[in-house]
Amino acid sequence: MTYKKIPNLKEINGRYYWRASGWYRNFTNITSKALGVDKDKAIKKCLDINKNTLLQNELEFLSFEYVLEYCQSKFIWWALKSDNRKKVFMSWFNYLGNKTFKDKPFKKYKITELKSDDVEEFYLKLTNVNYKENTGNSLTSYKEAFDIYKELIDQCLRVELFVESGLKINPFKFKRIRSGKETIHANEESLNLVIAECIRQDKLILGLAFLVTFYWNVRLIDIITRFKWSMYKKNKSASLPFNKNHKDILQPISLIDNDGNLLYPEIENYIDKLPSQLKIGIFMIQQKGTRKGVRRPYTYKTFNSYTREIIKDVNLPKEITFASFRHGGITNLAESGASESEIKASTKHKNTQSLKPYIHQTAVLQISGQQKRLAKKHK
């Protein structure tokens, strides 16, 4: 038998044991089982226990409601809450937890079963996506309820609880839950101001990020985690990263029209002027400094902090955020005369109420939409 590391298998003085992981011991009080001295037989027994005992019960023991029960009994975090706060916490927990997500109540899901995209999908489903109409108490309530779950998972991560079962990040924290407020869009004048400020402060990569989100409509999370230099072919094409229906996809776009004219001169000219050292590395948007000779990627928090400072330095309204420039780019495209279909071809937005089955998002539509924007600019 080829030996590999077997989860929960321990050898002590020539004898083998199945040792329960920490979270399993806490819920069942089962700590270990003797497996004998024969290694091959011990491995088979251990695998059987993992399959028939641990993994089956894991579905129950790691649910949100069981995790909360455990945290309430073990953590001082809960004991320090006032009686009123405990009551409020449980009210919001059950308010959200009893609602059905896909095929079961939300609180029945394993804490390691849901990703950030699942959490956002559930939130958008509950708020009907239409933020202009769905404002006020309903959005505030859901935000409060989701924050309760975020707090619970934060407690688990703080003491490294359930890490053996794959809990590493908080899915309620990774993506910002939207509020009921409409995102204010930033116009082209605002874009020019922040680009000039990035150049003045020698934060050239941030300037490129503003251009990419405005003209190529790439979201922040995709810009800092997925956009690679290999996806850009100078004066030819680019493959833009998007996440749709929980799948990472690449949207190919042309950078020139049929006559060879540049469709996105603002971005391409800016890239041409970047120092060569900023073009080294895998990802296009990375921090300027290096660690052991390797340029570091931005974290979500760090990137937002830097871009907020840039926006503040040019005295734009405090409601303007980095996301405002993506909204502004799409608005700018519409104001330039691009049709709804041309905009959808550029942004990959799909609305079943307005997009007819026979309208395809083609490269021709993407090119024609950008040509209209350039034509208006050079009038």
Report the alpha-carbon distance of residue 90 to residue 224 in Å, rounded: 36
Provide the CA 220 distance to its chain's centre, in angstroms.
Answer: 9
Nearest to 271 by CA among 221, 211, 189: 211
Is 241 within 8 Å of 231 (Cβ atoms)? yes
Name the more confident of 162 and 124. Answer: 124
Q: What is the pLDDT of residue 56?
A: 43
Q: Which residues, in sequence order, are CB contacts of 63 under 8 Å at separation 6+?
A: 107, 108, 109, 110, 111
Report the alpha-carbon distance of residue 160 to residue 158 in Å, rounded: 6
Report the alpha-carbon distance of residue 313 to residue 143 in Å, rounded: 31
The average confidence (pLDDT) of the chain is 78
10 Å Cβ neighbour count for 273? Answer: 8
| 283 token code pair | 């990802």
Name the more confident of 272 and 361. Answer: 272
Q: Is the pLDDT assigned to residue 372 strictly greater than 50?
A: yes
Average pLDDT over residues 152-167: 71
Q: What is the pLDDT of residue 197?
A: 96
Phi/psi for 130 (5° steps) reads -85, 90
Q: What is the pLDDT of residue 262?
A: 93
Q: Is the pLDDT assigned to residue 314 strictly greater than 80?
A: yes
Residue with tokens 């959005």: 139
Name, of 86-90, 176-180, 201-205, 290-294, the range with top average pLDDT.
Answer: 201-205
Q: Which residues, in sequence order, are CB contacts of 50 under 8 Å at separation 6+?
A: 7, 8, 18
Q: Is the pLDDT assigned to residue 121 strictly greater than 90?
A: no
Q: What is the pLDDT of residue 123?
A: 81
Q: Which CATH superfamily is domain 188-377 in?
A: Intergrase catalytic core (1.10.443.10)
pLDDT digits (tens, 9 = 90+) for 26-39: 555 566 789 899 98
Name the more confident of 107 and 361. Answer: 107
Is 192 within 8 Å of 54 (Cβ atoms)? no
Residue with tokens 């230099």: 229
3-state SS assignment for residue 95: helix
* % pLDDT > 90, the chain: 22
Average pLDDT over residues 94-103: 88
Q: Which residues, in sequence order, are CB contacts of 113 under 8 Å at separation 6+?
A: 62
Report the alpha-carbon distance of residue 37 to residue 48 in Å, rounded: 17
Provide the CA 324 distance to its chain's centre, in angstroms.
Answer: 18
Average pLDDT over residues 260-283: 91
Average pLDDT over residues 240-251: 74
Confidence of residue 316 (pLDDT cuts 50, 70, 90): very high
Rounded-to-10 torsion of CA 39, 42, 43, 49: -170
Longest dimension (CA), the chain: 85
Which amino acid would we find at residue 97?
G
Average pLDDT over residues 276-295: 78
Q: Is the pLDDT assigned to residue 216 strictly greater than 70?
A: yes
Name the more confident of 103 and 133. Answer: 103
Confidence of residue 195 (pLDDT cuts 50, 70, 90): very high
Name, of 76-85, 123-132, 213-222, 349-358, the range with top average pLDDT.
Answer: 213-222
Q: Which residues, in sequence order, are CB contacts of 256 under 8 Å at separation 6+?
A: 235, 236, 262, 263
Report the alpha-carbon distance of residue 37 to residue 167 in Å, rounded: 33
Q: What is the pLDDT of residue 290?
A: 62
Average pLDDT over residues 24-53: 76
Residue with tokens 């909360």: 68
Domain ranges of the chain: 9-61, 64-165, 188-377
Q: What is the pLDDT of residue 293?
A: 62
Is 46 within 8 Å of 16 (Cβ atoms)? yes
Q: What is the pLDDT of residue 357?
A: 31
Q: What is the pLDDT of residue 352?
A: 34
Count Cβ neighbours within 10 Å for each residue of 228-257 and write b for 16 or more, e otherwise: eeebbeeeeebebbbeeeeeeeebebbbee
